[in-house]
């Protein structure tokens, strides 16, 4: 059977992992011909294919989170992976309002850069739905910004970029970012 488990994991691993996020990179949805592999070495994206532009959004707060639901159904013989990224973009303004509208109207593919330096891709084949809220709090130190959620449903889990793909992605980050 081709779906046999091929490795285990030591229960007492080193305690050197960190959490948190550095940035996300959004690509307008398209079929970019990403090159991916799924082996016992991992779910890896080795080439960005035809991707030519991404938009970088720095994440510098503690309100960001990621999870991935795995749903299997024996009756239908299906398994889906549903990544969910909640992210906060600070400072409401007219330019950002337009960009958030475009995120919600489209279905962007989202590259997530972790504090560890790893980057993974959500929405490889189907893209992601983006929804959320805009808010300004009453206290001077309350959130003035957007709390957004990108949600996908895919046949494969997230793909981690190899070093070559990380370098290529960062080179594509658009110079047309909205000023801070």
Report yes or no on 3 lying in a domain.
Answer: no
Report yes or no on 39 lying in a domain.
Answer: yes
**Mean pLDDT split into 10-residue runs, the chain, 180 residues:** 67 78 96 94 95 93 93 95 97 94 97 96 98 94 94 97 96 68
Report yes or no on 6 lying in a domain.
Answer: no
Report yes or no on 50 lying in a domain.
Answer: yes
CA-based max dimension of the chain = 60
| C-beta pairs of 93-99 under 8 Å, 24+ apart in sequence | 95/178, 96/146, 96/178, 97/134, 99/55, 99/178
Identify whether the C-beta of residue 64 lies closer than 8 Å to the C-beta of residue 140.
Answer: no
C-alpha distance from residue 32 to each of 47, 51, 109, 127, 143 (Å): 10, 6, 10, 11, 36
Report yes or no on 16 lying in a domain.
Answer: no
Report yes or no on 121 lying in a domain.
Answer: yes
Q: What confidence score (pLDDT) does residue 130 get? A: 98
First and final CA of the chain: distance in angstroms? 52
H or E element in which residue 81 lies:
strand 78-90
For the beta carbon of residue 73, count every other beta carbon within 10 angstroms: 9
DSSP states along 108-151: -EEEEEETTS-EEEE-TTT--EEEEEEEE-SSTTS-EEEEEEEE
Q: How many distinct structural domains can be found in the chain?
A: 1
Report yes or no on 15 lying in a domain.
Answer: no
Distance CA 91, CA 68 (A): 28
Report yes or no on 144 lying in a domain.
Answer: yes
Q: Is the pTM of this model over 0.75?
A: yes
Q: What confidence score (pLDDT) does residue 7 get? A: 65
**What is the span of the domain harbouring residue 31?**
22-172
């Amino acid at each position: 059977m081709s779906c046999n488990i091929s490795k285990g994991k030591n229960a007492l691993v080193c305690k050197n992992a960190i959490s948190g996020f550095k940035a996300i990179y959004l690509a307008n949805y398209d079929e970019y011909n990403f090159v991916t592999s799924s082996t016992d070495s991992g779910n890896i994206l080795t080439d960005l294919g035809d991707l030519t532009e991404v938009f970088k959004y720095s994440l510098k707060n503690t309100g960001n989170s990621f999870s991935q639901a795995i749903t299997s159904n024996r009756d239908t013989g299906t398994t889906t992976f549903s990544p969910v990224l909640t992210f906060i973009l600070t400072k409401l303004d007219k330019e950002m309002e337009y960009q958030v509208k475009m995120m919600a109207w489209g279905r962007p593919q989202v590259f997530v850069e972790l504090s560890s330096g790893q980057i993974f891709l959500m929405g490889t084949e189907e893209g992601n739905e983006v929804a959320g809220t805009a808010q300004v709090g009453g206290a001077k130190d309350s959130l003035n910004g957007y709390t957004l959620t990108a949600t996908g449903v895919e046949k494969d889990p997230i793909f981690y970029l190899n070093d070559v793909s990380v370098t290529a992605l960062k080179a594509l980050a658009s110079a047309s970012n909205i000023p801070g």
